[in-house]
Chains A and B, each alone.
Chain A
Amino acid sequence: MNDVLLEAREVSKSFNGVTALRDGRLTLRAGSVHALCGGNGAGKSTFLNILMGLLRRDGGSIRRNGVEVSFASPGDALAHGMAIITQELSPVMGMTVAENLYLGREPTLGGFFVDYRKLRKQAQALLDRLGFAIDAGRVMSELSLAQVQLVEIAKAFSYDCQVIIMDEPTSAIGERETETLFAAIRSVTANGAGIVYVSHRLSELAEIAEDYTIFRDGAYVESGKLVDIDRAHLVRGIVGRELVAVDKEKRPASDKVCLNVDGLSRKNEFSDVSLQVRHGEILGIYGLMGSGRSEFLNCVYGLTSPDGGNVLLDGKPLPKGDPAATIRAGISLVTEDRKDTGLVLSGSVRENIAMAAYPSLSSLSVINGRRERALADEMIGKLNVKTASQELPVSSMSGGNQQKVVLAKCLSTGPTLLLCDEPTRGIDEGAKQEIYKLLDQFVRAGGAVIVVSSEAPELLYLSDRIAVFKGGRIVAMRDDDNLSQETLLHLAS
């Protein structure tokens, strides 16, 4: 079997006596894209980190081209033709694209001086070959998040590795960039490279991958060809049970307007946005990256101040540019990036849940410890957060559970309107479903929700109405039942 690039068997790892991975297995064929599926906490990240030499395995075997290997560092793995693209971007923002791509292996003149001309040419050639429309001479900090992600992807390709591991490569890029990425993937696999592809977006997997392997609870569940199974089978394998759908039809419609936005504008971000959200309703906002959708939410919430326009909450004008006052008025924001803006990673579960609610948990600014703990317990129970104790740091939790903590923090101030920016980004199918259910319960209890998402199926599934953002404006407001993913994408691009 010399067309097997990488074979891992019974790989295991535990941290401080807690097993993270019991039985990791994967067989990567040359010229294929292999989807590695599993929920958060399934052991995927641990497994990938072991493959790349970031962690050392406790047991099991890894064979590269049939030879037993054990990498001590990512550099070691690279030397064996294995590269990884991670979720966490780590570019040097002050350097140019070209400098970043060849950091540490710059072409030199006389072994000492950097040959900038050659560097630039080499980098541009790479980007062009991959079909990424980025100028190699630009400084990283001038690029959009999606472009930065593409540069990171290009860097992994630049090593000409035979094995490339992609951990959620599309989490930060839009649909169009995704197509470019897929074209690049197809061209390298045609040359015999193998790709391990991790993504929570199942429709993506169906499009790009041939083989699949499912992990659940730290162990291998099954593997095979994607063409042999359907989506429901895959979801069942990942979640381990059937999913209950949100009962969308019977959601009661109320006439009471909760949020009324009138002509809200902010220079260079969005202009003249008007919309209404009623109690008992979930309004979806769809738009590509850079359409102004997140900026709109941040502005309503008060993180930025609008240049013009008004926002009324239950008929009362909302204070501008003051998140604390917005929270008091009854609005919470579930932010886009839980690690960047959602959580204090060094803090405990309890502290994170209570963070926004301290004014109501204290008298004369002395915190009532009992009420704080009771709130944390209540939220942990209500949202089904999986943690041994509310004192554990949130950094030790899986993405799905972290996101539930963010949601718990937002719910603990007792809001009437929830603003959710990509509420399920990078979390597993099971946790997603739980979050959908929570949002559904929230509006059924009389609340209102605005959800911003770049995943069209999610919005179609969740929302009563969908507003489409494009170039900072609302270009469509749809509530038809037969709205399709294609229509949304068409309206937005």
Chain B
Amino acid sequence: MNAQTLTTPATATVAPRQRMRTFIDRFAMPIIFVVLCVVLAFSSEYFLTARNLMDILRQTSINGILAIGMTYVILTKGIDLSVGSILAFAGICSGLIAAQGHGLLAALSAGLLAGAVLGAVNGFVVARLSVPPFVATLGMLSVARGLTYIVNDGSPVADLPDAYLSLGDGKLGPLSMPIVIFAAVALLFWMVLKYTTYGRYVYAVGGNEKSARTSGIGVRKVIFSVYVVSGLLAGLAGMVLSARTTSALPQAGLSYELDAIAAVVIGGTSLSGGTGSLVGTLFGALLIGVINNGLNLLGVSSYYQQVAKGLIIVLAVLLDVSRKKQR
């Protein structure tokens, strides 16, 4: 491969062997991703078809949207275990509004609001009351799931109007709606993280909270806000999921937080905060999507898929650890 062109100028003077090492460390995940795709392309003629690739993207979109919010949270050294439950709650809330015929805009607003409000509660408990994020969002995982059952007595909302369903099966050119939403969200939040002061503050707060505070950054506000972002995106994902499955289910999104966290971690964002990127997360989410899809195509049981996914998560962190050890 063209190792030469891909190395950055900073490492250009390094001996060839070390350069190879740096290269492998740096691009390990993309390499695994490409290798996996090549293997799958040879083992299943269906894998590389446009239709299948679109399927992968569409299946990745829900987890991808969750993982974007999760990236923000993890960058500040936090964690959000409640996204799966918030997703279900927002799905039911917006579904109910839509089913009562209040129009798409009202339904969308309701879903986003429901997600943002629960996220804000998370943020308040973490930032203001100083409850560790793991505990605060573990509580919300249960509370939000309970609320989801309470709101509609544990039944799904099935009679969703066509306008609402278009979130799931609509198309914009060749792209289906979930992919379009996913891409738009990814682009927006990538830009916010990269080009705004807010994005820089998210990194600073996770990198060194005390230093951020001394620099006049409103640390609590930033921490509060990332949980709102995570809740909001979970709300959005909930609506897309309901539209795709044509009904809002109260048991939707069970253990989705694990895939979202996995995508972030595989993407190289450190759980200790301050380092990582959204592009990495997107790669992570895609990798999970490809594994699920590929193993399905090969007729491997979903039990093995779990094992494969678990191994890859640990492998990803292992690479990260060995990279740090080198210094």
Residues of chain A whose beta carbon lies under 8 Å from any beta carbon of chain B: 15-17, 301, 303, 323-328, 333, 335, 340-347, 351, 354-356, 358-359, 361-362, 365-367, 369, 388-389, 391-392, 409
Q: Is the CB of B216 within 8 A of A342?
A: no
Q: Is the CB of A359 within 8 A of B215?
A: no
Task: Known contacts A347-B203, A355-B215, A409-B215; decide if A362 and B196 are in contact (CB<8 Å).
Answer: yes
Q: Which of B10, B11, B22, B207 contacts A344 (CB 8 A)?
A: B207
Q: Is the CB of B197 within 8 A of A365?
A: yes
Q: Is the CB of A323 within 8 A of B216?
A: yes
Which chain A residues border B196 with CB–CB below 8 Å?
Answer: 362, 365-367
Most buried by B among A16, A327, A345, A409: A16
Nearest Cβ in chain A — how far from B74, in angstroms? 13
Q: Is the CB of B274 within 8 A of A346?
A: yes
Most buried by A among B10, B196, B214, B217: B214
Q: Is the CB of B195 within 8 A of A344?
A: no
5 closest A-B pairs (Cβ-Cβ)? A344-B207, A324-B216, A356-B215, A358-B197, A341-B210
Q: Is the CB of B197 within 8 A of A342?
A: no
Question: What residue in chain B is nearest A338 (Cβ atoms)?
Answer: B211
Question: What residue in chain B is nearest A323 (Cβ atoms)?
Answer: B216
When chains A and B are docked, how far (Å) is the Cα of A455 from the Cα of B275? 36
Q: Is the CB of B203 within 8 A of A365?
A: no
Most buried by B among A324, A346, A361: A346
Q: Is the CB of A15 within 8 A of B211?
A: no
Q: Is B144 close to A, CB under 8 A?
A: no
Q: Is B3 close to A, CB under 8 A?
A: no
Which chain A residues border B13 with CB–CB below 8 Å?
Answer: 17
Which chain B residues border A16 with CB–CB below 8 Å?
Answer: 11, 14, 18, 22
Q: Is the CB of B10 within 8 A of A388?
A: yes
* Chain B interface size, under 10 / 10 to 19 / 20 to 34 / 35 or more: 20 to 34
Q: Is the CB of B14 within 8 A of A341?
A: no
Most buried by A among B10, B15, B211: B211
Which chain B residues border A343 with CB–CB below 8 Å?
Answer: 208, 211
Which chain B residues border A361 with CB–CB below 8 Å?
Answer: 197
10 A-B pairs with CB atoms under 8 Å apart are A16-B14, A16-B18, A17-B18, A333-B214, A340-B208, A341-B210, A344-B203, A344-B211, A362-B197, A392-B10
Total cross-chain contacts (CB, 8 A): 91
When chains A and B are docked, how far (Å) is the Cα of A392 from the Cα of B203? 16
Q: Is the CB of B198 within 8 A of A365?
A: yes
Which chain B residues border A369 with CB–CB below 8 Å?
Answer: 195
Q: Is the CB of B204 within 8 A of A344?
A: yes
When chains A and B are docked, how far (Å) is the Cα of A223 from the Cα of B74? 50
Q: Is B212 close to A, CB under 8 A?
A: yes
Q: Is the CB of A355 within 8 A of B200?
A: yes
Which chain A residues border B213 with CB–CB below 8 Å?
Answer: 303, 323
Which chain A residues border B11 with CB–CB below 8 Å?
Answer: 16
Which chain B residues border A354 with CB–CB below 8 Å?
Answer: 200
Most buried by A among B14, B204, B216, B274: B216
Q: Is the interface of B mostly helix, strand, loop or mixed?
A: helix
Which chain B residues border A301 with CB–CB below 8 Å?
Answer: 214
- Contacts A358-B201, A366-B195 given; 20 further ones with Cβ under 8 A? A16-B11, A17-B18, A303-B214, A324-B216, A327-B215, A335-B214, A340-B208, A340-B210, A341-B211, A344-B203, A344-B207, A344-B274, A347-B203, A347-B204, A355-B200, A355-B212, A355-B215, A356-B216, A366-B196, A369-B195
Q: Is B51 close to A, CB under 8 A?
A: no
Q: Is the CB of B207 within 8 A of A341?
A: no
Q: Is the CB of A367 within 8 A of B215?
A: no
Nearest Cβ in chain A — how far from B108, in angstroms? 25
Which chain A residues border B197 with CB–CB below 8 Å?
Answer: 358-359, 361-362, 365-367
Q: Is the CB of B212 within 8 A of A389?
A: no
Q: Is the CB of B214 within 8 A of A324?
A: no
Nearest Cβ in chain A — how far from B177, in angstroms? 29
Question: What residue in chain A is nearest B199 (Cβ atoms)?
Answer: A367
Q: Is the CB of A344 within 8 A of B208?
A: yes
Q: Is the CB of B14 within 8 A of A355?
A: no
When chains A and B are docked, how far (Å) is the Cα of A354 from the Cα of B201? 11
Which chain B residues border A342 with CB–CB below 8 Å?
Answer: 211, 214
Q: Is B132 close to A, CB under 8 A?
A: no
Nearest Cβ in chain A — how far from B146, in angstroms? 35
When chains A and B are docked, how far (Å) is the Cα of A260 from the Cα of B201? 32
Q: Is the CB of B200 within 8 A of A367?
A: yes
When chains A and B are docked, how far (Å) is the Cα of A366 from the Cα of B10? 28
Nearest Cβ in chain A — how far from B163, in angstroms? 33
Q: Mark B210-228, 1 if CB is under 8 A from A, else 0.
A: 1111111110000000000
Q: Mark B273-286, 1 if CB is under 8 A from A, else 0.
A: 01100000000000
Task: Known contacts A15-B327, A324-B217, A362-B197; decide if A347 and B210 are in contact (CB<8 Å).
Answer: no
Which chain A residues border B217 with CB–CB below 8 Å?
Answer: 324, 355-356
Q: Which of B18, B198, B214, B275 contacts A346 (CB 8 A)?
A: B275
Q: Which of B200, B203, B216 contacts A326 (CB 8 A)?
A: B216
